[in-house]
Chains A and B, each alone.
Chain A
Amino acid sequence: MTTESIEISAIAERVIREDAEVAYPDECCGFVYGKIQDSKRLIQKAIPVLNSKEGDKKRRFEISALEYMRAEQNALDLGLDLLGVYHSHPEHPAQPSEHDRVQAMPFFSYLIVSVKSAKSAELNSFQLNDDRQFKQEILQQSLNV
């Protein structure tokens, strides 16, 4: 079963948008952390990580295994759950590609921010369903955090 709605704190959203603009025209990437309460996800924190893709970073991103292990440790240290990954699509819609889908993991929310002319634009979130297809989550800014 997939979560249908997800909230994001203003600060986490700002971190993602700023990272996307700084990395432009390359793709940025990072992890998101938070809590699941009553099947609703709340993203409280976003932490950028290095796009370690060798080659064309304008259309690809990759996070190293060591960065991933660090992210799991961060979640423990913060007392939060590792809820997913964000990345940017420079000059491209905030929709997942087939390339995104085949590498995606269950449970994680995949946030994608579009960047147009170096300015962040649409921000969407997706999660794999049981058929390994992406389903868009309803992303709202949290009023509480």
Chain B
Amino acid sequence: MARLIIPSPLRKFTGDQASFESTGSTVNEVIQQLVEQHAGLKPHLFDQEGKLRSFVRVYVGDEDIHSLQKEDTPVATETVISIIPAIAGGKD
């Protein structure tokens, strides 16, 4: 099963679980399984249109899914997927 790494700030929505095993065959299927089991994650991962929030990045291994097949990127048994919050800001 593919393994998805939950970032520290979102672990309060997974009962402190740091990773999630999934039978999904694409990044999208894995993330959908994740939010089905941990509904509290949904507003932090998806916008009101149901798309991944622009401030959330997803990596497969050390590659951004935007340089692969985005959410349709296939995943295999040994694939490690990371959800990475975009850390940015600054004064007005």
Contacts and interface: CB of A to CB of B under 8 A. Distances in A.
Interface stretch (A8-16, A38-46, A66-74): A66-74
Interface size class of A (residues with CB under 8 A): 35 or more
**Most chain A CB within a 10 A radius of its CB, from B84, B86, B88, B89:** B89
B82 interface: yes
Interface size class of B (residues with CB under 8 A): 20 to 34
B92 A105 contact: no
Given A69-B82, A105-B44, A61 B10 contact: no
B12 A107 contact: yes
| Among all A-B residue pairs, the 10 with the closest Cβ atoms | A60-B90, A100-B89, A105-B9, A63-B87, A107-B9, A62-B88, A92-B91, A82-B8, A97-B92, A89-B91
16 contacts: A27-B90, A59-B90, A60-B89, A61-B88, A63-B87, A65-B59, A69-B82, A75-B8, A87-B90, A96-B89, A97-B89, A103-B87, A103-B89, A105-B85, A106-B44, A108-B8
